[in-house]
Structure 1
Amino acid sequence: MSEDARFEDGREAPLNLGALDSEDLQVVSALVQDAVFPVTEMTWRAKDRRFAILLNRFRWEDRDNAESRRRDVERVQSLLVIENVLKVASQGVDRSDRDMILSVLAVEFEQADDQTGAVTVTLAGDGAIRLTVEALEVALKDVTRPYIAPSKQVPAHDE
């Protein structure tokens, strides 16, 4: 007799997700909400048409598990990579301030009439990074083992 798989039986593994449409991007956006990164950890390689950020991502997917087992919540370093980037613009981001720490609120895609459009990374404090893309292709990949969140707190938002 076979049994259905249970969530508890699954093994914990690093995230490695892709987004090729707005629905996929909503999942990625939810997972990178409250990620923080130094301004020095983002790069645009115009020749490769690739923009990347090394994030310190709160592990939203593990939150309930951590709370139910009464253990500390975690963060993990992840790469957020946007492909097919034609142009990058930002607001509220001072790249000369190498100590600036940015916090992600959301990642959204606004499609034009064809497959082109813009990916906007909205940042806390009225900052934003707008990436004009030929087509939507975003990847999120965990690149380190999880570590205890320094604050040991779940991020909170004022409503």
Structure 2
Amino acid sequence: MSEDARFEDGREAPLNLGALDDEDLKVLSALAQDAVFPVTEMTWRAKERRFAILLNRFRWEDAENAQARGRDVERVQSLLVIEHVTKIASQGVDRKDADTIHAVLAIESSSEGDAHDVTLTLAGDGAIRLSVEALEVSLKDVTRPYLAPSRKTPDHGL
């Protein structure tokens, strides 16, 4: 006899998610919101047509549970990879300034005719726009969670 899985039976595991359409990308965007990174953690491999950022991601999927249990909130290092990249443009991102920490606000895609873009909107009016041939984005946790240095949940003044 089989029965439905229960939430209580689940286990906490690292994220390893992909997005192939706009709906999938909304999920990745929500999970990557408030992730922080220095420019030194961005890389574009033009020959492979792959752009990647090593993010320090706030663990939104665990924040409510942590607070309910009286635990501090956590971050985890995650790799955000965008495939099929043909061109990159940025605004408010100085590749020579290794000390500035950028924060992800959203990841969105847009299309106009045959042109497709993935845009990472950053806090402080920064943005990275990637022209892509097809939408393929992944978000994968690559370390164990660690205590968020601020010990606070990001607040957007809502």
- Tell me which interval the TM-score lies in, with the shorter structure as reference length: over 0.9
- For 2:35, the equivalent position in structure 1 comes to 35
Aligned to 1:147: 146
Residue 127 (structure 2) aligns with: 128
Give me the whole-angstrom Cα distance separating, in 2, the residues matched to 1:40 and 1:106.
20
**1-structure distance, mates of 2:52, 2:27:** 18
Q: 1:16-44 CA deviation, whole Å, 9 max, x = no partner?
A: 00000000000000000000001100011
Whole-angstrom distance in 2 between the partners of 1:40 and 1:21 = 28
| Structure 1 SS opposite 2:86 | strand
Q: CA deviation at 1:3?
A: 4.4
**Counterparts of 1:118 and 1:15, CA distance in 2:** 24
Q: How many residues align?
A: 158
Gaps of 5+ in 1: none
1:1-159 matches, within 5 Å, as 3-114=3-114, 116-159=115-158
Distance 1:96 1:58 in 2: 26
Does 62-71 or 134-143 show the bigger shift?
62-71
Output the CA distance in 1 between the equivalents of 2:17 and 2:2: 30
Q: Partner letter of residue 128 of structure 1?
A: A
Q: CA deviation at 1:112?
A: 2.6
Structure 2 runs not aligned, ≥5 long: none
- For residues 113 and 12 of structure 2, what CA distance do their matches in structure 1 show? 40
Q: Which AA in structure 2 matches 1:51? A: F
Look up the SS of the partner of 1:94 in the other structure: coil
Shift of 1:6: 1.9
Give TM-score scaled by structure 2 length.
Answer: 0.96
- Alpha-carbon separation, structure 1, partners of 2:82 and 2:2: 42
Q: Which amino acid aligns with 2:77?
A: Q
In 2, Cα distance between equivalents of 1:92 and 1:44:
18
Offset at 1:8?
2.1
Where 2:107 maps in the other structure, the secondary structure is strand
Paired-residue identity, %: 77
